[in-house]
């Protein structure tokens, strides 16, 4: 079928709205009419050339919409269902079978750099020629998307898709890091380095725990103010003070949990330096490939841990409905992060995300 997609033709190029042709759904695929989709820094990183997804291509991986058709083997959803889209996984490797799909053996090619189905076939054509898509099993920067069944989670028909769309990646990454992995004990301290969309989600997640100190570290004052609204008890402006020194004063003896969201090696080093014995640093930010972190091994021998986390170690089929429930209960204030844009204003949304004017742009389809 024909639809309109935002195509990036070359590194650094604009999102161009063009008519494309979608393939027919295969046995395990679902055709979804998009209602909204988040615009994530991962999408922008592909456009900038930081992630080697092949171009020309269609990105988008925080989709929300309504099912229009399903493949012959699809069981999770049916036409008319309202759905949120998240990352894809193979479903049969050791990690998928063990309930850890975020660590699927094929995660990188299937989600980030492949551009095709696992068999090398394309889901989208432009002017009769194939272009790259299947981004995170979805490519939802389009009015319609072919989405892997394993990427979809059904939600209630009255769920506000325009608000819930970012749950599929950024929000579940931040909240999941806290609730699924770190699980702070009552009275503990959580420090989040970098409070963009993912970091603010981690702040919201920490506010759901018994942590007594929740500290936001950033260089943007407006983000620090928002962090206080979302549950932070303290903020540190990294542009004006020595972060390690400020945390030593605030948390004598060290910090139990740090969450690093910037991907900047110097900041990662700070997040490790401030750990208390038995403390854990969770790495969410993605430094450039080949980045190396110097670590004093003697310092780590006091039970300190450094752990990398993908997608909040989420099992989306159960975790995303939990996040929806938390939002509907008023305990996950996503609205404070989101600004809506018409799909046609995707370039403005991208510029606002890059400048920091908007924490989480969500594109809405009419």
List per-residue pLDDT tens for the chain, 366 residues long. 999 999 999 999 999 999 999 999 999 999 999 999 999 989 999 999 988 999 999 999 999 999 999 999 999 999 999 999 999 999 999 999 999 999 999 999 999 999 999 999 999 999 999 999 999 999 999 999 999 999 999 999 999 999 999 999 999 999 999 999 999 999 999 999 999 999 999 999 999 999 999 999 999 999 999 999 999 999 999 999 999 999 999 999 999 999 999 999 999 999 999 999 999 999 999 888 888 999 999 999 999 999 999 999 999 999 999 999 999 999 999 999 999 999 999 999 999 999 989 999 999 998
Which residues lie closer than 8 Å to 258 by C-beta, 6 or more apart? 190, 191, 192, 193, 271, 272, 274, 275, 279, 280, 281, 282
Structural domains of the chain in order of their starting residue, each with its CATH number: 2-168+333-364 (3.90.180.10), 173-310 (3.40.50.720)
pLDDT at res. 366: 86
Say how far apart CA 115 and CA 312 lie, in whole Å: 23
The number of residues making up the chain comes to 366
Segments in 102-196 forming alpha helices (H): 107, 161-164, 170-176
- Other C-beta atoms closer than 10 Å to the C-beta of 105 total 14
Task: Judge whether 11 and 47 are in contact, CB under 8 Å.
Answer: yes
Of 59, 17, 13, nearest to 40 (Cα)?
A: 59
Say how far apart CA 188 and CA 31 lie, in whole Å: 45
Which residues lie closer than 8 Å to 255 by C-beta, 6 or more apart? 189, 190, 191, 215, 247, 274, 275, 276, 279
Cα 338 to chain centroid distance, Å, stands at 14
By DSSP bridging, strand 124-126 and strand 189-193 are unpaired
pLDDT at res. 287: 85
| Angle subtended by helix axes 197-207 and 221-230, to nearest 10 | 30
Bridge partners, residue 84, by sequence: 64, 153
Task: Judge whether 312 and 204 are in contact, CB under 8 Å.
Answer: no
Instruction: Phi first, then psi: give them for residue 315, nearest 5 degrees.
Output: -105, 90
pLDDT at res. 222: 94
Say how far apart CA 67 and CA 47 lie, in whole Å: 28
- Other C-beta atoms closer than 10 Å to the C-beta of 321 total 17
Segments in the chain forming alpha helices (H): 41-48, 94-97, 107, 161-164, 170-176, 197-207, 221-230, 243-250, 265-273, 297-300, 316-328, 346-355
pLDDT at res. 289: 80
- Cis check for the bond before 56: say yes or no (omega within 30 of 0): yes
pLDDT at res. 258: 98
């Amino acid at each position: 079928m024909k639809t309109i997609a935002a195509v990036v033709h070359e590194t650094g190029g604009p999102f161009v709205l063009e008519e494309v042709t979608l393939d027919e759904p295969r046995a395990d695929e679902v055709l979804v009419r998009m209602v909204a989709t988040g615009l994530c820094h991962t999408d922008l990183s592909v456009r900038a050339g930081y992630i080697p997804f092949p171009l020309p291509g269609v990105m988008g991986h925080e989709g929300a919409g309504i099912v229009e058709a399903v493949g012959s083997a699809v069981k999770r959803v049916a036409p008319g269902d309202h759905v949120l889209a998240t990352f894809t996984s193979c479903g049969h490797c050791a990690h998928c079978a063990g309930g850890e799909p975020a660590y699927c053996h094929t995660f990188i090619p299937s989600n980030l750099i492949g551009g095709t189905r696992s068999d090398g076939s394309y889901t989208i054509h432009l002017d009769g020629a194939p272009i790259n898509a299947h981004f995170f099993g979805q490519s939802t920067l389009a009015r319609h998307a072919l989405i892997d069944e394993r990427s979809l989670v059904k939600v209630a028909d009255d769920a506000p898709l325009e608000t819930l769309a970012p749950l599929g990646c950024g929000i579940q990454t931040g909240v999941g890091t806290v609730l699924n992995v770190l699980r702070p004990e009552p009275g503990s301290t959580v420090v989040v380095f970098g409070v963009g969309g993912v970091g603010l989600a981690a702040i919201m997640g920490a506010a759901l725990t018994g942590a007594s100190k929740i500290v936001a570290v950033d260089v943007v004052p407006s983000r620090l103010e928002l962090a206080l609204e979302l549950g932070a008890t303290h903020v540190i402006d990294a542009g004006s003070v020595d972060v390690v020194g400020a945390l030593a004063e605030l948390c004598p003896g060290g910090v139990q949990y740090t969450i690093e969201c910037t991907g900047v090696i110097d900041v990662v080093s700070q997040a490790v330096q401030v750990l208390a014995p038995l403390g854990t640093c969770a790495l969410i930010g993605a430094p450039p490939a080949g980045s190396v972190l110097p670590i004093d091994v003697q310092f780590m021998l006091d039970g300190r841990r450094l752990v990398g986390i993908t997608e909040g170690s989420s099992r989306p089929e159960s975790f995303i409905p939990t996040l929806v429930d938390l939002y509907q209960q008023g305990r996950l204030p996503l609205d404070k992060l989101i600004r809506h844009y018409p799909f046609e204003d995707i370039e403005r949304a991208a510029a606002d995300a890059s400048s920091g004017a908007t924490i989480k742009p969500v594109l809405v389809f009419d």
